[in-house]
Amino acid sequence: MSKTKLAFFCQNCGYESAKWTGKCPGCNEWNTFVEEVIVKGTDKAERQDWKELGGNSSVKTVLINDVTSAEEKRIISKDIELNRVLGGGIVAGSIVLVAGEPGIGKSTLFLQIGLQLNHVKTLYISGEESEQQIKMRADRLGVKSEQFFLLTETNTQTIFKEIKKLQPELVIVDSIQTLQSPYVESSPGSISQIRECAAELQRYAKETNTPVFLIGHITKDGNIAGPKILEHMVDTVLQFEGDRHYAYRILRTLKNRFGSTAELGIYEMTGAGMRPVTNPSEILITQKEDELSGIAIAATIEGMRPLLLETQALVTQSVYGTPQRTVSGFDLRRLQLLLAVLEKRGGFHFGVKDVFVNIAGGIKVEDPSIDLAIVCALLSSYEDVPMPTKICFAGEVGLSGEIRAVNRIEQRIAEAEKLGFDKIIVSKYNAKALGKLKFGIDVVALGKVEELYQYLF
């Protein structure tokens, strides 16, 4: 017989404790422990793992020098943005967690990817929607596939029985929070259920070399729902994000064992599904007829791809005692740092001004190379003088007002040249590295923020 026991789990990190504690010893958070009923199966005959449903248990230790290193086998999907984000395609035997807000388009995207893979036998497991709902969405996408199978089930044992019969080459689970293992006596979505279901799917993926996509929910704080260990267990974590008021969605890599973690895929949400955006620079730069103050173009890099973004700033006289500092898509502390540099090194009195900064297109940027464009947008709005339209910027600003060099400057210059810009302003320390390279665009090298002001205004 099974022995039933109670345990307490930290909702933040998944730490297990025999009794309730105020402070979690694992992550030092307060009041995060919840009580759950756990059934530890002691009788082997009682528990049917996926191995009994067709697994392979030939395991032995090997010397590392005897292991032959080879390129991992990948399934190349028809979605070029997904291929880029995963590092070149879907790796056989990998387990990928995709998280995002409700209604952002996770289910639509992966239903579309599964339907497009008409040469791969795909099983789509839905615990949230009925077969009719999925069929309606598939009809709207307008993609037909003879190799796409549906299963609406939440019990993991039933799922593995169906998997044994079907032998799929790709499994998509929507979502991991709805699955329920019979070996854990708690409700679906609880810490122990998510951990147990993910562990069963991980064993299946590794032992059959079948890639598995887990679609996950996020909490109101923006973190992936469930224990932190879920992110450690999987090979790749993708964040699907975007503003509901914009048509664009961003697929960002947070962790990837088979590629870069700085990659970014951009999609446009349309009535017929997600359309991959191959040239995001054109959509992120607003086409405008009049010259307006407070706008500067930044040449940034996301992963392997260069992007040109529009940075917007508005500087107005402060009506109240305390000036406002409002940002969208940029780090507020970084803005305060840049304002302090302009105040100290340039003598501009931003201390009595309200400052608003926005990155156009609803995109969030962490690359410090957009500092120079932000500074130019702020100065342009402060002086109310429009910037020349065919000029862009790539440089980091230091605390002493110097313009610092940024990496992979050649790619940024090439992207600016491709989009028809006449001039790019970079750090003079970057110009040394460029040497005698010839570009069809004028490269202006400056060393200080004061020089930049004199050059532009």
Residue 391: how many CA atoms within 13 Å on its side-chain side? 17
**Rounded CA separation 289/292 (Å):** 9
One DSSP character per residue, 364-399 reads ----GGGHHHHHHHHHHHHHT-PPPTTEEEE-EE-T
On whether the CB atoms of residues 233 and 199 are closer than 8 A, the answer is yes
Which parts are annotated binding residues for ATP? 100-107
Both structure tokens of 351:
């201390």
One DSSP character per residue, 253-311 reads EEEETTS-SS-EEEEEEETTEEEE-S-HHHHHS---SS--TTEEEEEEEETTEEEEEEE
Number of Cβ within 10 Å of residue 407's Cβ equals 13
Residue with tokens 């004199």: 454
Type of residue found at 390:
K
Both structure tokens of 135:
């069929």
Which parts are annotated binding residues? 100-107
CA distances from 256 to 88, 238, 260, 261 (A): 12, 8, 6, 6
Both structure tokens of 169:
């080459």
Q: Helix 191-208 vs helix 156-166: angle between axes, to the nearest 10 degrees?
A: 20
On whether the CB atoms of residues 417 and 394 are closer than 8 A, the answer is no
Distinct helix (H) and strand (E) counts, the chain: 12, 23
Cα four-point dihedral sign 236, 305, 371, 357: negative
